[in-house]
Chain A
Amino acid sequence: MNEALRKTYHEELDGIREGIVRMAGLVSELIPRGTEIFLGGDLSEAQRLIEEDDILDAMSIELEERCYQVLALQQPMASDLRAITSALWLNAEIERSGDLMANIAKATRRIYGITIDPRVRGLIVQMSEEAARLFRLSIDSYAEGDSGLGAALRDIDDRLDELHRDTIQAIFETHKDQGYDLQAGVQLALVCRFYERIGDHAVNIGERVCYMVDGWHPEHTGALRANARKQERADVDEGDADV
């Protein structure tokens, strides 16, 4: 009986892990697809992408409920507990990344008919590729339990941040030449921001992998610093009181 229960428990853990990877796979595909739709001004495909975001939402809810069930019924401990709580975090990060691509599809409608400067188009393509690469790396780190890769994503994200700055600059340098108004320029800037946010979500996923594998999270370092400062202040206050 215990053997059967343990088998079911591990099957559940594997199922949750597989669900995360599968959802992430759908989002990985959305990034280049959404970019192509945006640059091509394809309204019907944009509509399709927006509707398909509902599928991701449904998957996210189902995965979340599975995690709660395991927590409630199996009461996992140690690394298993970290795996389930991390899955809940990753679920949210992946679902949010999908939402960002749906936002880009909506932006397709808002700037429909506008000719985007080739330099800006090229930079958007580069941002899309870099965001997709970061996202795939983050899922690789999760699937392989590679905390080293997870920790490296923060530095790898620097390239995307740089591209973001370059693209914003290019948008505002070229909007007059291309004849679109500031409002359209703002929309383009927002699209770039969405790619940059996907990169941030990938970094978050990497950090969660570190926590899942090593029990360490960057916030732990921050917390240690905060506690050290608090202790320092307390020591100083105590010293002043003695005086």
Chain B
Amino acid sequence: MTAVLVVVAVATLVLAVLMVVHAERQRGRVIRRVDRMTADLGFDHMPSVSPEESVARLATSLERWRASVVDVAYERRYRAALEAIPLGVIVVDADRNPLFVNGAASWFREGRHSEAVVAHAVERLITRSVSGENHEETVQLYGPPRRRLHLTAAQIEADGTSLGTLVLIDDVTEQDRIDAVRRDFITNISHELRTPIGAMSLLAETLVGETDTAVVESLAERLSREADRLAATVDDLLELSRIEHGGDGDFEPIALQSVIAVAHDRVRSAAQQRDVEIGVTLPEAPLMVHGDRRQLTSAVFNLLDNGVKYSGSSASVVSIRGRLVGDEIELTVQDSGIGIPRKDLDRVFERFYRVDSGRSRSSGGTGLGLSMVRHIVANHGGRITVESAEGEGTTFTLQLPALPPPDGEEPPDDRSDGDMDHEVNPA
């Protein structure tokens, strides 16, 4: 009996030991497994000594992983937002290493020519911003193309510590252009209206009390001329306004040859006075457009008139040529006069814009002619371009949609310049 009890006791003891060993092994496996999971998260690679410690480490790592995922999401969101901004955005750290450059600012990173100037300006601005000086700078680039950039820098701080510098680059070129157009228009229209009004006022004052008949007559004539000048300006403004709004044009099939003949006739006298010859080169077959006769005549007249006015020396030639190119009619008006400076070419079609106020006002006119031409061409579904070089002359080219010729007629020959059918009406 005693022997049986001893055997049972020993067996129980052995079993208990085995169970403890098994439990320990299981515990170790759990710890190792949890530690492996923690290591996989990348934040903690230290082995744990107890399940509680391993679980605590896992919980901490999970929290850090969650925060990093949120940070990445935030960063992605902020990057996308900064990329969407139309301004250039540059972020550098406290050591001026670049952290972020959005697409709008990346163009100058190549750092050559004008881009190098911008890179230099950005560095200069960062230096000034770090030292607490001026945070803004404007950079004028001559390129080409001309651009004006406004740079702004701000310090990035958190808890009183400088984290780096933020630089914004704003391309204000277009805004400058719009401001210049608006400013010049107001200045020029004020001048165009005020000058004759001022002259009329002065002449009227002088007339008061004047008894000499000859003097009165002379002053009255000048008063009348100034009134005509003012009236012409107002008429042109009204005409331009009408044209700009599409007008109440009377559109019909028109042969450009007839329009050119009328415009040529109107400018003939001024051309003769300045000893300028007008050469017209047109095909025999009609160049047909769907248009308003009055507007088209005004457009061609304005171009010829400009050519005559700015021909410079006497015995020069203003030539007008028309031809069919594909399904468009191309009309060029070319002079060999003083030309237009490169910097003014983009602005010659603005209302009242003067290339050079001295030379333009002495030549007369209201400064609205080319603006009218541009709108007339647009009303007819066409386009106008200008090429010019100072001292060499100017060429205006109009392209208008062509109408097919009347039934039974051959379309005009679209051979190149210098091979036209005939020349007519030299001045």
Please report A residues at the B interface, Cβ cutoff 8 Å: 18, 21-22, 24-26, 28-29, 31-33, 36, 39, 117-123, 125-126, 136, 139-140, 143, 170
With A33-B142, A118-B312, A118-B339 known to touch, is A123 a contact of B391 (CB < 8 Å)? Answer: yes
* Sampled A-B contacts (6; CB under 8 Å): A22-B119, A22-B120, A29-B141, A117-B391, A118-B391, A139-B113
Contact B390 A121 (CB under 8 A): yes
Quick check: A24 and B116 within 8 Å, CB to CB? yes
Whether A121 contacts B112 by the Cβ 8 Å rule is no
Given contact pairs A118-B338, A118-B339, A122-B390, A32 touches B142 in the complex (Cβ within 8 A):
yes
- Asked whether A22 lies within 8 Å of B116 as measured between CB atoms, the reply is yes
> Known contacts being A119-B391, A139-B112, is A29 close to B142, with CB within 8 Å?
yes
Cβ of B126 to closest chain A Cβ, rounded Å: 15
- CB of A95 to closest CB in B, whole Å: 15
Task: Enumerate B311-333 residues with CB–CB distance to A below 8 Å.
Answer: 312
A29 to B144, CA, bound (A): 9
Contact B341 A121 (CB under 8 A): yes
Whether A21 and B390, one on each chain, are in contact in the complex, defined by CB atoms closer than 8 angstroms, is no
- Distance (whole angstroms) from the CB of A93 to the closest CB of chain B: 16
Judge whether B113 and A125 touch: CB under 8 Å. no
Give every chain A residue within 8 A of B389 (Cβ-Cβ). Answer: 122, 125-126
CB distance from A13 to the nearest CB of B (A): 16
Q: Which residue of A lies closest to B313 (CB)?
A: A177
A74 to B111, CA, bound (A): 26
A31–B144 Cα distance when bound, in Å, is 11
Question: When chains A and B are docked, how far (Å) is the Cα of A33 from the Cα of B111?
Answer: 19
Question: What 1/0 flags go to B113-128 for Cβ under 8 Å of A?
Answer: 1111101100000000
The list of the 3 closest CB pairs from A to B, nearest first, reads: A25-B116, A119-B391, A122-B390
Task: Decide if B142 touches A36 in the complex (CB within 8 Å).
Answer: yes
1/0 contact trace for B201-242 toward A, CB 8 Å?
A: 000000000000000000000000000000000000000000
Q: Give min CB distance, A237 to chain B, whole Å.
A: 54
Chain A contacts for B391, CB-based, 8 A:
117-123, 170
Q: What are the residues of chain A within 8 A of B338 when measuring CB–CB?
A: 118
| A29 near B114: Cβ-Cβ < 8 Å | yes
Complex interface bits, B137-158 against A, C-beta within 8 A gives 1, otherwise 0: 0001111100000000000000
The CA of A14 and the CA of B342, in the complex, are separated in Å by 38
- Bound together, the chains give a CA A28 to CA B143 distance in angstroms of 8
How far is it, in angstroms, between the C-alpha of A143 and the C-alpha of B116 when the chains are bound? Answer: 12
Q: How far is the CB of A11 from chain B (nearest CB, A)?
A: 13
Query: What bracket does the count of chain B residues touching chain A fall in?
Result: 20 to 34
- Residue B343 at the chain A interface, CB threshold 8 Å: yes
Q: Is the CB of B120 within 8 A of A32?
A: no
Tell yes or no: B392 within 8 A of A by CB: yes
Since A25-B116, A118-B312 are in contact, a sample of 15 more A-B pairs with Cβ atoms closer than 8 Å, ordered by chain A residue number, is A25-B113, A25-B114, A25-B120, A28-B113, A29-B113, A29-B114, A29-B117, A29-B141, A32-B144, A36-B343, A39-B341, A121-B390, A122-B389, A123-B391, A125-B341
Write the residues of chain B forming the contact surface with A, with a CB cutoff of 8 angstroms.
Answer: 111-117, 119-120, 140-144, 312, 338-339, 341-343, 389-392
Say yes or no: A125 contacts B120, CB within 8 Å. Answer: no
A122 surroundings in chain B (CB, below 8 A): 339, 389-392
Select A25's contact among B115, B144, B341, beta carbons within 8 Å.
Answer: B115
If A33-B142, A118-B312 touch, whether A18 touches B117 (CB-CB below 8 Å) is no
Contacts of B120 in A (CB 8 A): 22, 25-26
B342 surroundings in chain A (CB, below 8 A) = 125
- In the complex the two chains form, what is the Cα distance from A188 to B389 in whole Å? 19
Is the pair B143, A140 in contact by a Cβ cutoff of 8 Å?
Answer: no
Q: How far is the CB of A116 from chain B (nearest CB, A)?
A: 9
- B343 contacts which chain A residues (CB < 8 A)? 36
- Bound complex: CA of A136 vs CA of B114, how far in Å? 10
A122 nearest CB neighbor, chain B only: B390
B339 to chain A, nearest CB (A): 6
- CB of A28 within 8 A of CB of B114, answer yes
Docked Cα-Cα span, A25 to B97, in Å, equals 22
* Closest A residue by C-beta to B342: A125
Of all chain A residues, the one with the shortest Cβ separation from B108 is A25
A31: chain B residues at CB < 8 Å are 142
**CB of A206 to closest CB in B, whole Å:** 16
Query: Considering only CB atoms, which chain B residue lies closest to A28 in the complex?
Result: B113
| Residues of A with C-beta under 8 A to B140 | 33
Residues A22 and B113 in contact, CB atoms below 8 Å apart:
no
Query: Which A residues are in CB contact (< 8 Å) with B312?
Result: 118
Distance between Cα atoms of A170 and B341 in the complex (Å): 17
The residue in A28, A33, A121 that gathers the most chain B C-beta atoms within 10 A of its C-beta is A28
A125→B342 CA distance, assembly (Å): 8
Whole-angstrom distance from the CB of B306 to the nearest CB of chain A?
15
When distances are taken between beta carbons in the complex, the residues of chain B under 8 Å from A26 are 116-117, 120
Neighbouring A residues of B119 by C-beta, 8 Å: 22, 25
**Hey, which chain A residues are within 8 Å of B116, CB to CB?**
21-22, 24-26, 28
Closest-CB distance, B319 to chain A (whole angstroms): 19
Q: Specify which chain A residues have a CB less than 8 angstroms from the CB of B143 in the assembled complex.
A: 32
A22: chain B residues at CB < 8 Å are 111, 116, 119-120
Bound together, the chains give a CA A122 to CA B388 distance in angstroms of 10
Q: Which of A117, A119, A126, A140 contacts B112 (CB 8 A)?
A: A140
Taken together as a complex, chains A and B put the C-alpha atoms of A119 and B336 apart, in Å, by 11
Rounded to whole Å, the gap between the CB of B89 and the closest CB of chain A is 22
Nearest A residue to B312, CB-CB: A118
Minimal Cβ-Cβ distance residue in B for A121: B390
Known: A29-B141, A121-B341. Contact between A136 and B113, CB under 8 A?
yes
Chain B nearest CB, measured from A42 CB (Å):
13
A214 and B15 alpha carbons, distance in the complex (Å): 88
* Nearest CB of B to A52, in Å: 11
